[in-house]
C-alpha cells in the first residue's frame, strides 16, 4: 500500500513539473552560445570589477610620479615671563623680545627612485590587465561549458518526457487490464517501477538544470530569472586533422593571459629588485632656515643639507628578498610555459579521440533506433512482445540515447577546452 502511495505521489510530481515546463515555455530566454557570450561581455559584474581594478592601478602611476611635499616647520617662544611676547628692538633692548624660527625643506630622491616607482606602478597596470584577460578567458570557458551542459540536459528532458508519456499511457491501460484480470499484479507493478525510475531521472535532470540556470544567470547578470533555453552548437570539425599544432602551442605561449601574467610578475620582481637597491642609497634633503633673535645675528638665514649615513641599515634584507622573488617569478614563468604546452597537446588529443568516436557512430543508427522504439511500443500494446522484453529494450534505448547526448556534449566541451587552453577561437561554438 505504501509503495502504491509513493508511486501515485511520484506521478503527481512529474505531472506538475511537466505542466510547469509548458507554462514557462512562453517566458523562456532562448540563447545560442555566441549570444550568451555577447550578453556576458556586456553585463558580467566580475569583469566590471576587474576593469575598475585596472583604473585603480593606472591612478597609482600618477601618484608615483608625484614629488614629495616640502616640509615647513616653525618654532617660537611660548613663555619668557610673559606668554607669546614678541617685540621689536629698542634702544634699551636692541634685540627685542621673542624668538622665531622657520625651516623649509625638500627631499630629493636619488638613484632614480621616482622613475623606478613609476615603473612598478606601470607593472601593476600590466598585471591587472593580464588578470582581467585571464578572468575573461576562464569565465567565458565556464559559460560555454554551462551552455553545452544545459543544452544536453534539456535534450535529455525532452527524451524523458516522451518516455514518461508513453509509459503513463501504458500504465493506465494496464490498470484497466488488471481490473479485469488480463494481466498479473506483478507485471503491473514492474511497469510502474519503470515509470518511477523515469520520473526519478527526470527530477534529477531538472535539479541539474536549476543549478546551471542559477550559474548562467549570475554570469550574464540576468535579473529577469527567465529560464534559459540553450541551443546545441554545431561546430565545424573538418579542419581538425590539419591544424598546425606546434604553431598553436607557440601562439598559446604568447597569447594566454596566465602566461602574460607570469611574465608581468617576473618583470615586476626585476624592477622591484632595482628599486630595493636604489633604496640603499640615501636621499638628499635640502632646505633653508630663518632664525630671529637666537643666533649670532638677529636675523639668521641658513642653508640646510641632510644626508642619512648608510651605516647600520643598507636595506640588505629587502634586497636579498627581492633577489629570491626574482628567481621564484622566473621559475613560475618557465613552469607556466610548460603547463601551456602540456595543456594544449593534451586537450587536442582528447578532442581528436572524442571526434573519432563521434564520427565512427554516425547519425543513421539513432534514427533507426528511434523508429525501432516506436515499433516496440506498438508491439507491446498489441501483446506481441513480453513485458520483460519491452522493459529491457526500453531501458536500453533510454540509456543509449542519454549516452549519445552525453557524448555530443563531451565533444563540444572538449572543443571549448581546446579554445580555452590555446587562447584562440580555433573551433567556434556557433
Model pLDDT for residues 176-223, shown as the tens digit of each residue: 888 888 888 988 899 899 999 999 999 999 999 999 999 999 999 988
Among residues 272, 306, 269, the alpha carbon closest in space to that of 288 is found at: 306
Residue 379 has pLDDT above 60, yes or no: yes
Using alpha carbons, list the distances in angstroms from residue 55 to 50, 61, 126, 266, 358.
Answer: 9, 10, 11, 22, 47
Mean pLDDT, residues 27-32: 84
Cα angle 319-322-324, degrees, rounded to a multiple of 5? 115
Would you tell me how many other CB atoms lie within 10 Å of the CB of residue 163? 22
What is the per-residue pLDDT for 362? 65
Would the pLDDT of 331 be above 80?
yes
Range of lowest pLDDT (83-87, 139-143, 385-389): 83-87
From residue 272, how far is each of 84, 120, 255 by CA, in Å? 50, 7, 25
pLDDT of 20:
42
Let me know if domain 2-68+109-280+315-422 sits in CATH 3.30.230.10.
no
Determine the pLDDT at residue 81: 72
What is the pLDDT averaged over residues 250-264? 97
Taking the whole predicted model, whether its pTM rises above 0.95 is answered as no
Could you tell me the CA-to-CA distances from 36 to 158, 166, 423 in Å, in that order? 22, 35, 19
Q: Cell 547519425 identifies what position? A: 363
The domain ranges of the chain are 2-68+109-280+315-422
Q: What value does the mean pLDDT take over residues 166-181?
A: 87
Percent of the chain with pLDDT over 70: 90
Amino acid at each position: 500500500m505504501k509503495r502504491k502511495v509513493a508511486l501515485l505521489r511520484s506521478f503527481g510530481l512529474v505531472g506538475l513539473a511537466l505542466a510547469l515546463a509548458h507554462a514557462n515555455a512562453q517566458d523562456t530566454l532562448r540563447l545560442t552560445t555566441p549570444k550568451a557570450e555577447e550578453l556576458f561581455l556586456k553585463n558580467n559584474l566580475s569583469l566590471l570589477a576587474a576593469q575598475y581594478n585596472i583604473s585603480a592601478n593606472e591612478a597609482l602611476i600618477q601618484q608615483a610620479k608625484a614629488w614629495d611635499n616640502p616640509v615647513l616647520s616653525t618654532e617660537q617662544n611660548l613663555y619668557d615671563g610673559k606668554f607669546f611676547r614678541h617685540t621689536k628692538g629698542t634702544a634699551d633692548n636692541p634685540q627685542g623680545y621673542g624668538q622665531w624660527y622657520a625651516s623649509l625643506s625638500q627631499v630629493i630622491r636619488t638613484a632614480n627612485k621616482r622613475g623606478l616607482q613609476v615603473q612598478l606602478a606601470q607593472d601593476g597596470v600590466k598585471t591587472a590587465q593580464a588578470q582581467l584577460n585571464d578572468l575573461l578567458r576562464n569565465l567565458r570557458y565556464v559559460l560555454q561549458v554551462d551552455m553545452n551542459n544545459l543544452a544536453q540536459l534539456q535534450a535529455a528532458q525532452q527524451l524523458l518526457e516522451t518516455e514518461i508519456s508513453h509509459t503513463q499511457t501504458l500504465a493506465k491501460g494496464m490498470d484497466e487490464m488488471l481490473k479485469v484480470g488480463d494481466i498479473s499484479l506483478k507485471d503491473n507493478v514492474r511497469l510502474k517501477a519503470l515509470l518511477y525510475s523515469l520520473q526519478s531521472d527526470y527530477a534529477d535532470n531538472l535539479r541539474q538544470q536549476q543549478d546551471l540556470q542559477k550559474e548562467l544567470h549570475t554570469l550574464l547578470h540576468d535579473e529577469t530569472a527567465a529560464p534559459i533555453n540553450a541551443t546545441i552548437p554545431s561546430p565545424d570539425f573538418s579542419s581538425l586533422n590539419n591544424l598546425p599544432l606546434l604553431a598553436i602551442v607557440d601562439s598559446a605561449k604568447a597569447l594566454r593571459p596566465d602566461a602574460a601574467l607570469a611574465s608581468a610578475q617576473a618583470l615586476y620582481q626585476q624592477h622591484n629588485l632595482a628599486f630595493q637597491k636604489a633604496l640603499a642609497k640615501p636621499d638628499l634633503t635640502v632646505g633653508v632656515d630663518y632664525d630671529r633673535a637666537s643666533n649670532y645675528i638677529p636675523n639668521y638665514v641658513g642653508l640646510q643639507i641632510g644626508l642619512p649615513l648608510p651605516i647600520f641599515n643598507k636595506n640588505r634584507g629587502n634586497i636579498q628578498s627581492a633577489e629570491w622573488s626574482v628567481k621564484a617569478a622566473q621559475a613560475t614563468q618557465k613552469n607556466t610555459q610548460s603547463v601551456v604546452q602540456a595543456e594544449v597537446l593534451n586537450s587536442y588529443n582528447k578532442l581528436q579521440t572524442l571526434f573519432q568516436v563521434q564520427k565512427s557512430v554516425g547519425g543513421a543508427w539513432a534514427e533507426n533506433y528511434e523508429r525501432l522504439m516506436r515499433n516496440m511500443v506498438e508491439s507491446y500494446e498489441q501483446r506481441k512482445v513480453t513485458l520483460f522484453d519491452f522493459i529491457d529494450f526500453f531501458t536500453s534505448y533510454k540509456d543509449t540515447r542519454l549516452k549519445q547526448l552525453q557524448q555530443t556534449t563531451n565533444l563540444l566541451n572538449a572543443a571549448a577546452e581546446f579554445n580555452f587552453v590555446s587562447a584562440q577561437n580555433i573551433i567556434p561554438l556557433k
